[in-house]
Amino acid sequence: MNPSARLKPIGVFDSGIGGLTVLHELMRLLPRESTVYFGDTARVQYGNKSETTVQRFALEAAQLLMQHGIKFLVLACNTVSATSLTLLRQRLPVPVVGVIEPGAQAAAARSRGGHIGVIGTAATVESGAYQKAIAAWRPEANVVARACPLFVPLVEEGWTRHQVAEEVARIYLSPLKAEGVDTLVLGCTHYPLLADILSLVMGPEVNLINSASEVARVVRDELERRDLLGQASRPTHRVLVSDGPERFSRVARNFMGEDLGPVELVAVPAAAAVG
């Protein structure tokens, strides 16, 4: 492996701000890697858009990150991972990892009785990606999935401990509780920030699976396996957005509890048509 390839940054892509939960885990586990994060804030939310539209956005974002010389692409967004992973793997010259497979594997391994709940955006739940990935690891598992579209705006608003969030969680999660799930996959970038409320509603005996921390471990293993592990003594971290860098910085403080530094506004290149 050419040593300069190892010094290239890891690209992290999300529809907006929620993928910072993944970036945070990556920076913690891989402190000597440089990163370029792209949040498509001009077009968020992806979770209530069609598969074709999300795939087009994903190709365009990937093209942008390739222009920044990435060596590896992490799809922090569950909706993108659920709908576009195969397509991006076909089209890109760098390895691509999504959050579904690591989250599904962890859920299958940690569930005591095989009763697994999955929550995510409408697009993620409708794609069936988590359901399929869990079944591949644990075919006898009983998987119940539920879209929770109001969670994203609640988190964006910073209402992660608000009584309204708790009430919404009780409504969304009641069918999963009735099914007696022992493990709940937080299948959306924003949901780890609601973990306290979700745990309160589900009860302490239910495992919560955070796909963000699971994917960081997979990225480390993949980099190692491909001889791409970075050893930068002064890694750099760039954050790019397609709209509203000031708002992004502000909301980011809730997500990462720290200042991101400068957030750059970029234009997304148009990609070749999907299909």
User: Contact positions toward ligand DGL, by CB under 6 A?
Assistant: 14-16, 18, 44-47, 77-79, 120-121, 124, 152, 188-190
Angle of CA points 76, 228, 129, to nearest 5° = 30
> Least Å distance between CB 156 and ligand DGL?
9
CB atoms within 10 A of CB 162: 13
> Least Å distance between CB 215 and ligand DGL?
11
> Least Å distance between CB 242 and ligand DGL?
13
Choosing from 70, 75, 77, 119, the catalytic residue is: 77
The answer to whether residues 89 and 22 touch, using CB atoms and an 8 Å cutoff, is: no
The answer to whether residues 54 and 123 touch, using CB atoms and an 8 Å cutoff, is: yes
User: Which residue's CB comes closest to ligand DGL?
Assistant: 47
Nearer to ligand DGL, 77 or 201 (CB): 77
φ and ψ at 149, to 5 degrees? -60, -20
> Least Å distance between CB 79 and ligand DGL?
4
**Catalytic residue check, 148:** no
Task: Tell me how far apart the alpha carbons of residues 138 and 132 are, in angstroms, rounded to a whole number.
Answer: 10
The answer to whether residues 107 and 116 touch, using CB atoms and an 8 Å cutoff, is: yes
**Which pair of tokens denotes residue 24?**
């945070």
Choosing from 26, 94, 188, 216, the catalytic residue is: 188
Nearer to ligand DGL, 30 or 75 (CB): 75
Active site positions, annotated: 77, 188
